[in-house]
Amino acid sequence: MSKPKAAVFASGTGSNFQAIMEQPDLACDIALLVSDQPVAKVIEKAKNNHVPTVIFQAKDYKDKSAYEEMLADKLIKAGVEWIFLAGYMRIVGETLLKKFEKRIVNIHPSLLPDFPGKDAIGEAFRAGVNKTGVTVHYIDAGIDTGPVIAQAEVAVLPDDTEETLKKRIQRAEHRLYPEVINHLLGK
């Protein structure tokens, strides 16, 4: 039986994309990589993994619904059923939320609802917490909000720098995200 198809949306380095691709028994096929940043490192990673890419720039469209209509069209044509956000630094709008209801999942580098937004690791570090972590959640129209699916705690050690903490959080992300994807897809 063929596996369900999914797309990964990413704006940056793509270490989570790579971790998903490297999961040996991944329960879906990654059919597309979508990026809003034409020079993002994740695009190179997609090419190396032979994953087709859809690259766009929001400024080329009238508004969010215009580029999301374009994306939805390409996703549906490619047979995509699930969307996994992996460092996609845009708020998903009504168009995609409606067409992929309960099928858009995000990973965030904190124990939500703590530290939403773009600098979760830096904010947790500066706040002096002794633990933080990683959250995988369904998305809604907010910023890093929506029902939590799974979380993993990560200790903040006394001699951590923001950089060492970031590395530990990323290792947790790379373990958790592929695992949760398989769980969601029934593997």
What's the min distance (Å) between Cβ of 95 and ligand GAR? 20
Q: Is 146 in the site for ligand GAR (CB under 6 A)?
A: no
**Bridge partner list, 134:** 152
Integer Cα distance of 166 and 175 in angstroms: 14
Q: Is 109 in the site for ligand GAR (CB under 6 A)?
A: yes
What's the min distance (Å) between Cβ of 139 and ligand GAR? 10
Q: Is 10 in the site for ligand GAR (CB under 6 A)?
A: yes
What's the min distance (Å) between Cβ of 1 and ligand GAR? 29
| Of 112, 111, 114, 101, nearest in space to 141 by CA | 101
Integer Cα distance of 88 and 92 in angstroms: 9
What's the min distance (Å) between Cβ of 9 and ligand GAR? 11
| Of 48, 70, 44, 47, nearest in space to 57 by CA | 70
Cis amide bond preceding 158, omega within 30:
no
Q: Is 137 in the site for ligand GAR (CB under 6 A)?
A: no
By rule CB under 6 A, what string of x and - marks binding of each residue 27-66 to ligand GAR? ---------------x------------------------
Please check whether residue 112 is in contact with residue 135, taking contact to mean a CB–CB distance below 8 angstroms: yes
| Residue at token pair 């633990």 | 131
Using the rule CB under 6 A, give the single segment among 1-9, 21-29, 70-78, 104-112 that binds ligand GAR. Answer: 104-112
Using the rule CB under 6 A, give the single segment among 13-21, 31-39, 146-154, 156-164 that binds ligand GAR. Answer: 13-21
Cis amide bond preceding 109, omega within 30:
no
Instruction: Between 2 and 64, name the residue whose CB sits nearer to ligand GAR.
Output: 64
| Residue at token pair 């009238």 | 62
Question: From the list 86, 105, 152, 172, which residue makes contact with ligand GAR (rule: CB under 6 A)?
Answer: 86
> What DSSP state is assigned to residue 150?
E
Chain positions contacting ligand GAR, by CB under 6 A: 10, 12-16, 42, 86-87, 107-109, 118, 120, 144, 173
